[in-house]
A and B are shown apart, each in its own frame.
Chain A
Amino acid sequence: MAHILVVDDEFLLAMMLTDILEDEGYEVDTVSNGEAALAAVRKQRPDLVITDFMMPMMTGLEFAEAVRADAALASLPIILVSGAQGSIARERPELFQAVFDKPYSNSVILEAVATYVQATED
């Protein structure tokens, strides 16, 4: 069962994305900031991370930089979903496998997720 970590300080958005992913058979955990996400990826080793940009403690960009700097995590796929900061993230293609602007359509996200991990039927 593929494991996805959703990182978003906006609770409702994190919950909605979690529901969509769980419906597709993924195992999903959520955290609300980049710092918590970094701790979670080190501990849980998820197969993929979907992160927001603007968050307390550590932004999505800072989180991705920290992940890429860690040899043990460097190959972890990260998808960034952001409102206004998509352009900032696109300037750093080495950090993110994909960047989507909010609001995004569920099918687009699911398609991208499927590219990087193997969904498991429950």
Chain B
Amino acid sequence: MQQTHRLTSGIDGLDQILAGGFISGASYIIQGQPGAGKTILSNQIAFAHVARGGRALYVTLLSESHERLFQSMDPLRFFDRSQLGTAITYISVFQILRDEGLDAVVKMLRKETKRQEATLLVFDGLLNARDRADTDFDVKTFVAEVQGQAAFVGCTVLFLTSSGVSEVNPEHTMVDGVVELTDTLAGVRTVREIQVRKSRGSRALGGLHKFEITDAGVTVYPRIESLPRRPEANIRAETKLSTGIVGLDDMLGGGLPAGSITLLAGPSGSGKTTLGIHFLAQAHEAEPALHFGFFETPDRLRSKAAALGISLIDKEGTVLTIERMPLADNILDKLAHQLLEQISARGVKRLFIDGLGGFERASVHRPRLIEFFACLMDQLRANGVTTLATWEIRELVGSDVAAPAREISAILDNMILLRLFEEDHHLTRTLSVQKMRDSHFDAAVHAVDFSPTGLAIGEAFGARQKPPHPLQTNG
């Protein structure tokens, strides 16, 4: 089969959802309401194209002046004024459209594409061209002629249009692909999404994918669920990783199975982060560790560890990385991509996520959370990462485990439960292993003590020593 030649968009996530980039010599409609990001996206693609040695022709109709456009792009890192007028040319064909009509524009575009030796043509203003056309047939003819003559010289075409979201226009039938950008409100936050609505000859990643616009331009985060599945890493089943707590390793039958995902559930103050610190402190060169947290700042985490006699600083930069994602308008898939990039860049084998609630907070479409976590966990398993992830149980004191944890637990390999009980005005912490996939474990509930050297597993509550009755609480 002949390999399709692709024109990279210069945006990794967009190339991914386009199954490798735009098809060279093909034509696409980029559609979205004003402000959705079409102009930035198309300019970014054009500058990426010229940076790779291509030549671009950017054609406008009745829009902002080119100089205003350049000023608005000055802060964007991809924008390079030195390419203007040389590798990338901006022209307006408004007067030709107004005075001579669509046919004259087609002729002009043919001449200019040839004159500029353009390998990418961006036509910004298909909606204005539609306004000038007498019938839908005229618009289709215009699109067909422009793309036909561009394809003849191997030039890829992007038609930009601000038609309404979800609107299917007659010209959609003419082009090879349609990419739609949307900008909607979810509660009080803005959510930007991109969708490949049509992709002739390519198996694009369907559905909505989040993107953001920063000074780096457009960054697209393909939906984790849409990424190709990868096989689990080949790890010997009996390999165990120490939690850093002797008694807990014993309960787990030697430690956490390598490459497995463990949920550490418990209320606030039950010792989840402390347990994570023990786990991270076991990092060494063959097992680099990553702390991916939402709550503790790196300084607070270091202080917390130091209070337990553990120095995280000694390991940082070599075998331990501490990442904090503040809880502020996070993008769910961005978090997942950031996590996976860190893992791949640093060869992380020990991962502590504190906690899964940080992902849950970033979610604007909650029904997908279980599938999201399932796919994220699959990616972690494929990387051979042994993961410990916390889940906060709302009930501060007591034995109830909130329903979401049960749903999540189904997609995880192991589950450890930390609980707080109150008896005689005194808090008791307990730890129990709820499940271990394909592995024997100590099912007894153990007392947990905070000692000067950290978390220590006490004796099991046996038949003669029942755990205290949990108190009924309001929460």
Which positions 32-52 of chain A face chain B at CB distance < 8 Å?
A: 32
Which residues on A sit within 8 Å (CB–CB) of B65?
10, 12-13, 102
A27 to B256, CA, bound (A): 86
Bound CA span A82–B94, Å: 19
A1 to B65, CA, bound (A): 30
Size class of the B contact interface (CB-based, 8 Å): 20 to 34
- Whether a CB of chain A sits under 8 angstroms from the CB of B96 is yes
- What number of A residues sit within 8 Å (CB to CB) of B? 19
Chain B interface: which of A55-63, A67-75, A111-119? A55-63
By the criterion CB–CB under 8 Å, are B96 and A54 in contact?
A: no
B137 interfacial contact with A, CB 8 Å = no
Q: Which residues from A are CB-within-8-Å of B95?
A: 9, 11, 32
Determine the main DSSP class of A at the interface with B. loop
Give chain B's interface secondary structure class: helix
Is the beta-carbon distance between A83 and B96 smaller than 8 angstroms? no
**CB–CB B92/A84 < 8 A:** no
A53 contacts B by Cβ under 8 Å: yes
Task: List residues of chain B with CB within 8 A of the CB of A12.
Answer: 62, 65
B70 within 8 A of A: yes
C-alpha spacing A88/B86, complex, angstroms: 10
Quick check: is A93 within 8 A (CB to CB) of the other chain? no
Indicate whether B131 reaches chain A with its CB closer than 8 angstroms. no
Give chain A nearest CB distance to B59 CB in angstroms: 8
**Contact of B460 with A by CB under 8 A:** no
- Determine if B89 is an interface residue (Cβ-Cβ < 8 Å): yes
Q: Are A9 and B93 in contact (CB under 8 A)?
A: yes
Per-position contact with A for B72-85: 1 when CB-CB < 8 Å, else 0?
00000000011011
A-B contact pairs, 22 of them (CB 8 A): A10-B94, A11-B62, A11-B92, A11-B94, A12-B62, A32-B92, A53-B85, A54-B89, A55-B91, A56-B91, A56-B108, A56-B112, A59-B85, A83-B66, A83-B84, A84-B70, A84-B81, A84-B82, A84-B84, A84-B85, A102-B65, A102-B67
Q: Which residues of chain B have a CB within 8 Å of any CB of chain A? A: 62, 65-67, 70, 81-82, 84-85, 89-96, 98, 108, 111-112, 115
Binding site for B on A (CB under 8 A): 9-13, 32, 53-57, 59, 82-85, 88, 102-103
